[in-house]
Amino acid sequence: MRFGLFTSMGAQTWSGVLDLWRHIEATGWDIACVTDHFMPNTREREGAMLEAWSTLSALAALVPRIRVGTIVLGNTYRHPAVVAKMATQVDIISGGRLLLGIGAGWQENEHDAYGIPFLTMRERLERLDEACHVIRSLWTQRRSDFKGRHYQLADAPLDPKPVQTPHPELMIGGGGERVTLRIVARHADHWNVWGGPRVLAQKGAILDEHCAAVGRDPKTITRSANMALLITDRKDEVDRLAETIATRLGRHAADPKDTCLAGTPDEIRGQLRQLQAAGADVLFIPSLFRPLDALRRDLDRFMAEIVPAFR
């Protein structure tokens, strides 16, 4: 397995994020990603939020080994041709280490605040499907034409091309079983979902069915799960973490306890074995549920005491 961290851009400073990423690179992590939001998902809309792409561009230059990426971009925020161009530049800056994660977009309050049309879920998913066409075409074709319902290209170039060939890794985040996973089967190199072994096994089987329907080998899609880390021997601490996840993620965490990678080191090793059996190739640990100092101590213990058994 490979192991990554994704850093919420909320309540952070540039120097703090850079220090954290340099630390996780030095301690052996494989991947680090940024989130893509403009303000907190609260009624008050108060609090600092670093911008994803400019932060990632700087990190790509200053953190030289690990893969760097987005988990995940809101497709509604930018035209996909603009995303393809920006992603290409970060892939060049990083020397071919970009993981481009993208999703349909979900945080309604920032759409309202900035006048970005939120649209219906169906329309957002239609746009995501077309966006994947646009991005992959621009990355791989000398000139691109596309006539979609939502996006159009007319003899469009993208020069220079990304470093990675045939193109950077395209990751789609989401667990919608009827539409999102069908889009994953058509376009994605990598699928990411919130949840642990039960969620990954259930939705992974449905993804396999969508792959069969489009004639694709499901083994060609990398699969990753997002789980919150807590090393503890106290059940009440695990319960509080699950409550925090349920509050923060709402419907995005169908089973908050399944989203907890929590317990003693032996218990966490058992969860990781189950996650592997469910098909996970990559585990991402989010930074947004715990104070960073406490999480950082657990990240170091996790890498030193638990990860070696899975490499």
pLDDT digits (tens, 9 = 90+) for 155-204: 999 999 999 999 999 999 999 999 999 999 999 999 999 999 999 999 99
The proportion of the chain whose per-residue pLDDT surpasses 90, expressed as a percent, equals: 93
DSSP one-letter string for 66-114 = SEEEES-EEGGGS-HHHHHHHHHHHHHHHTS-EEEEEE----HHHHHHH
pLDDT > 70 in the chain, percent: 99
Q: Look up the pTM and report it.
A: 0.96
Residue 21's pLDDT is 98
Q: How far apart are CA 66 and CA 94, in angstroms?
A: 9
CA distance linking residue 253 with residue 238, whole number of Å: 15
Cβ proximity of 50 and 32 under 8 Å:
no
Q: Is the pLDDT of residue 12 over 70?
A: yes
Domain boundaries, the chain: 2-310
* pLDDT of res. 253: 60
What is the tens place of the pLDDT at every residue in 61-114? 999 999 999 999 999 999 999 999 999 999 999 999 999 999 999 999 999 999
User: Tens digits of per-residue pLDDT, 63-72?
Assistant: 999 999 999 9
CATH class (in words) of the domain with range 2-310? alpha beta
Q: What is the pLDDT of residues 204-224, one digit of tens each?
A: 999 999 999 999 999 999 999
